[in-house]
Structure 1
């Protein structure tokens, strides 16, 4: 995809991977950025950081768990700023706890933001992309969308679901010249994970590394962008030696002292 002269909408753009992707898009020549997040101050800071680049930035303070507000805001943005050519669904929430200590409200929040929020935005944008016969939709999953991890059961479930959703949508929208891409970063050093207990032996990536790999994959037209050598190694190991990979996950998981922890990138 050539992004020069295009308009992109990025959710979860106030921090972490979403913020890094927004900056990378601006540096690569995107014409207009619609940035969605709940935190007005942080979103304003991102817009300030982009002032030196030749990009128009439109901050949209939205809670993706409120579909009516999202519907109205996106319809108005499309009317005011023109067609959106690239959608990056990056907003997400992560809660960590052994399953037997998990709490239903936290599960509901993960499903609401990670899945329902993504669905709401995608449905609104995809319909318009189909009408204009052009567009790319990027759904940010995770390595945990390929390998379910102890203490992250419901988060892993939502990330697996994002991959299934993306695969189904890819088949449906291909005839309309709308591409659907899955982005699968491994552990990334962001605000969202610093408050979680990390798996032993995992070397975190930076959001900037993920953003660069995202851009490379986008230009290549890859349907899935698996980020980091650890991700590639883990997926290969799981494919050929699934029992070994399961034991590795059990050994490296922070089970003995795991407590309920959470954060978001919205």
Structure 2
């Protein structure tokens, strides 16, 4: 599980431990945060293996994941939760921040998924969960490149689902709306949006997996927004424009 040290990733790790997972491989950048979540997971009776990795460093990731797979055996579920977000008007955006979003949200996901998916195909069993966002269905002003990466994750998930279906490997998209995590603390929230909690997202994931869902939306606002966008995209675009926290430039 990537992005396991905080926010949604941390909540999912705790939920899996609560559900009786025997072992969790926890991936994130910050070692001391991984130690904290590992202690909580182990207190529930689940073995925790910490892998302090920067997903933007593919050689480092490849080496560590291959060693972990060789030592600990097959992975039955991969949760790609690591992500970064920057908020600014597009005309004031900076290339370095855009590159960071793409490197973490997309390339990092690709790197670890490719390694794990090959093993899942060989064992003819597994589930891959890619954490996108409601912004992967409805783009948000002031979050242009973040929205772009989340749209890309939805497309990646749909294509990979089709490719791996014959190998009995399931590929699922998780699409939370605004969630109260430290990643959004410094963001200006869209007006009228009621935030959800990481725990609610983790619960929705578990329920969705049990139902065999391929796309898991979180919260009534997400379901309403996606439904409206299907039948009246012009209206949703107008509402999003009015709710945007910064003036358009």
TM (norm. structure 1) is 0.92
Q: Distance in 1 between matches of 2:121 and 2:143?
A: 35
Counterpart in the other structure of 1:235: 226
Which of the numbers 202, 206, 209 marks the counterpart of 2:200?
Answer: 209
Q: Distance in 1 between matches of 2:248 and 2:6?
A: 28
Counterpart in the other structure of 1:88: 79
Counterpart in the other structure of 2:32: 41
Given that residues 80 and 109 in structure 2 are in contact (C-alpha distance below 8 angstroms), is that contact kept between their aligned partners in structure 1? yes
When you count helix as a share of all residues, which structure comes out higher?
A: 2
> What stretches of structure 2 of length at least 5 have no aligned partner?
none
User: Displacement of 1:41 after TM fit?
Assistant: 1.0
Counterpart in the other structure of 1:151: 142
User: Displacement of 1:52 after TM fit?
Assistant: 1.7
Q: Distance in 1 between matches of 2:122 and 2:64?
A: 19
Helix, strand or coil for the counterpart of 1:251? Answer: helix
User: Displacement of 1:257 after TM fit?
Assistant: 9.5
> What stretches of structure 1 of length at least 5 have no aligned partner?
1-9, 259-266
Q: Distance in 2 between matches of 1:114 and 1:172?
A: 21
Structure 2 residue 17 is the aligned partner of structure 1 residue 11: no
Q: Distance in 1 between matches of 2:197 and 2:5?
A: 16
Q: Distance in 1 between matches of 2:70 and 2:200?
A: 34
Runs (4 or more) in structure 1 with deviation over 4 Å come to none
Counterpart in the other structure of 2:107: 116
Q: Distance in 2 between matches of 1:100 and 1:91?
A: 26
**Higher relative contact order (CA closer than 8 Å, sequence separation 6+):** 1
Q: What CA deviation, in whole Å up to 9, does each residue of 1:83-126 have, x standing for no partner?
A: 10100000000000000000000000000000000000000000
Q: Distance in 2 between matches of 1:202 and 1:73?
A: 39
Helix, strand or coil for the counterpart of 1:68? Answer: helix
Which of the numbers 3, 11, 29 marks the counterpart of 1:20?
Answer: 11
Q: Distance in 2 between matches of 1:81 and 1:39?
A: 22
Helix, strand or coil for the counterpart of 1:87? Answer: strand
Deviates more, 1:233-242 or 1:179-188: 233-242
Deviates more, 1:42-51 or 1:118-127: 42-51
Given that residues 131 and 175 in structure 2 are in contact (C-alpha distance below 8 angstroms), is that contact kept between their aligned partners in structure 1? yes
1:167-206 aligned within 5 A? 167-206=158-197
